[in-house]
Structure 1
């Protein structure tokens, strides 16, 4: 996964889809931009569905690729950040997350967020997920990593952010996800992916052991 563009035209096809007829795509017959900020825009499209039915379709289009990193310490703990989120008006515990301009190496974006939000620098990185965040109404795509060999650096949060930083056992993060106390989709997906990677030998053995046994 680290060596290819998971969102490119040559992305792999699931094994069960091989040999099936080519799906009929949606058709886009033009669009208007109805709202725009430096970070995203909303477009309204005259579209034709795969069934042939005409439709008006609104899409939220992002101007950055979403990035996230789950920082894992040698003792099996992970660093998480807490912050107030505007859209749902709630407080959210998450791994460090942010965005990278499409012309930037997304790993550099993840490194920047790790430093700014968690005050950490990592010596080792491994790609965890490539994900379409909510592909029915947005075109947002994202990449996440597992990072270790961590050292502290100065915090530098965004001027709009008030961030709390905690360090908890990886198994406790999984427990809080199961309880519904951690709901951020990027974090949930990456935590379960990290658990799979630890179980399947895709992380260093000493790190996997610490993650799975520290409570």
Structure 2
């Protein structure tokens, strides 16, 4: 039986780290079983935004970059952070332009995802962008990106053989595959 009432009780909450992107809290709790416990929560100050651009030929774009926390290179759909108080579509349009130079005239939100709901409150939004026009990229100072245009079916295969492991990319590409019958 589903209930929206939390079986957890928060005894205390202390911010142990805070920067412009995340806030970490240490919480003393009473568990659903009635025992004392602790919980660590990572609060994200932005929404996760992912975009799957698809052109008339059935191609999409991936962005490759070195991911510092993973210490490895990663191929992903174009993505980034969107301010909590900004419509996710506005953030998606900005991110697509920044990372690929693409401007889309047709947008569809295809999903909402919690990236790791056991320790974070991060919420992600996935969009499909179509009717594309090519413009110039506008990379952030922290980005060294490679851009790859490839068949959408090949990007989906990269998910299936674990060459793409980013959660927003996996979710978005598999959802597009299902929606398009690929």
What TM-score results when the alignment is normalised by the length of structure 2?
A: 0.95
Q: State the distance in 2 between where 1:171 and 1:29 align.
A: 50
Name the structure with the higher strand share: 2
Aligned match of 2:142: 160
Q: CA RMSD in A?
A: 1.2
Match of 1:70 among 52, 76, 86: 52
Query: Runs in 1 of length 4+ with deviation above 4 angstroms?
Result: none
Shift of 1:198: 1.0
Q: Which residue is equivalent to 1:106? A: 88
- 1:21 to partner: Cα distance: 6.0
Say yes or no: does 1:174 pair with 2:156: yes
Hey, what does 1:202 align to over in structure 2? none
Q: Report the alpha carbon displacement of residue 155 of structure 1 after superposing the two structures with TM.
A: 0.5
Partners of 1:105 and 1:196 lie apart in 2 by 26
Change in Cα spacing, 1:112 to 1:52, as seen in structure 2 (3 Å) is same
* Distance apart, 1:149 and its partner CA: 0.4
What secondary structure does 1:129 align onto? strand
Instruction: For structure 2, list consecutive stretches of 5 or more residues without a partner in the other structure.
Output: none
Q: Gaps (5+ residues) in structure 1? A: 1-19, 200-211
CA-CA distance at 1:176 after TM superposition: 1.4
Alignment of 1:126-145 (within 5 A): 126-145=108-127
**Residues 29 and 147 (structure 1), Cα distance of their counterparts in 2 relative to 1, 3 Å cut:** same
Distance 1:164 1:26, change over 3 A: same
SS in 2 for 1:187: helix
| Number of aligned residue pairs | 181
